[in-house]
Amino acid sequence: MSLIRAIVLAIVQGVTEFLPISSTAHLVLVPWLLGWTDQGLTFDIALHAGTLVAVLAYFAREWLGMAASLFGGASVAPGVDRNLLGIILAATVPGGLAGYFLESYAESVFRSPVLIAAMLMGVAGLMWIADRRRTLLRSADTITLADGLIIGLAQALAVVPGTSRAGITITAGLFRNLTREAAARFSFMLATPIIGGAALKKGLDVWQQGLPPGFTPADFLVGFVVSAATGYVAIWFLLRYLQVRTLKIFIAYRLVLGAIILAVEFLHSAA
């Protein structure tokens, strides 16, 4: 893999991981549209590890607050306590189980362009319904265990590319009457354990089996650093964007992208 290709994929990952447009779908579609060989799930996970660093860095105050509360200390961030940490961990279980048992499908069957297009457009419909609700009033500090479990169950669907982990969890949060910003904030923090677990598992596989053919340590290092930097910017952008705007632009993007994928796939099949 060339470093330019690694950088392009890292930017794609960093930008799309936290926007509700499906990073995994874009990591499949960019090589498909450009005629590149699919880089595979192992490199995708390396890019996800970069965005893990981004979310840890951005929410460092909150994570430190939750850690302090575990040892009886006062939280260093308003509204952060051991309850939120427990909610996040409980909400992670469904997604973790889905990733573990469906990993082989995620690496093969689920990377179909037609399936990706269907999920992009289907979840866009759910986002549109949720985004139009007039009851989006709850702040992040009102999140309960029931909220977390429902959002966590939604997160399990993100094993299918095109769903968008951020998209489906933010949508579930809106259906629980969270504000757009609160739903996004919880979605980003919920990403931490699931991305961390996947990155650790793949990291151990690479340690035992070596790098995939065609890859060098430099490819992984560049991808990791670039995805971390762009991921941090994406978090900063979306949290501020959703304070004053809706999800309409992302819904439209998903619908248009899904339609383009179906059109291109049809042309490929007809050729």
Q: Which amino acid is at 123?
A: V
Give yes or no for residue 215 having a pLDDT over 90: no
- The pLDDT value given to residue 257: 93
Q: Would the pTM of this model clear 0.85, i.e. be above it?
A: yes
- The pLDDT value given to residue 21: 93
What is the rounded average pLDDT for all residues in the chain?
87
Give mean pLDDT, residues 154-171.
Answer: 92
Give mean pLDDT, residues 157-174.
Answer: 93
- The pLDDT value given to residue 151: 97
Distances (CA, A) of 135 to 128, 164, 173, 183, 261: 14, 23, 12, 13, 34
Which tens digits make up the pLDDT trace of 82-123? 688 899 999 999 988 887 777 666 655 666 888 889 999 999
In 3D space, the residue among 189, 179, 184 whose CA is nearest the CA of residue 89 turns out to be 189
Place of tokens 């699931």: 194
Which tens digits make up the pLDDT trace of 221-270? 899 999 999 999 999 999 999 999 999 999 999 999 999 989 988 888 77
- The pLDDT value given to residue 136: 96
Could you tell me if 173 and 151 are in contact, meaning their C-beta atoms sit under 8 angstroms apart?
yes
Q: Which amino acid is at 220?
A: F
- Report the share of the chain in percent with pLDDT over 90: 50
- The pLDDT value given to residue 131: 97
- The pLDDT value given to residue 95: 87
Which tens digits make up the pLDDT trace of 36-69? 887 776 777 778 889 999 999 999 988 888 877 7
Could you tell me if 222 and 3 are in contact, meaning their C-beta atoms sit under 8 angstroms apart?
yes
Residue 178 main-chain phi, psi, to 5 deg = -75, 150
Give mean pLDDT, residues 14-27.
Answer: 87
> 164: helix, coil or strand?
coil
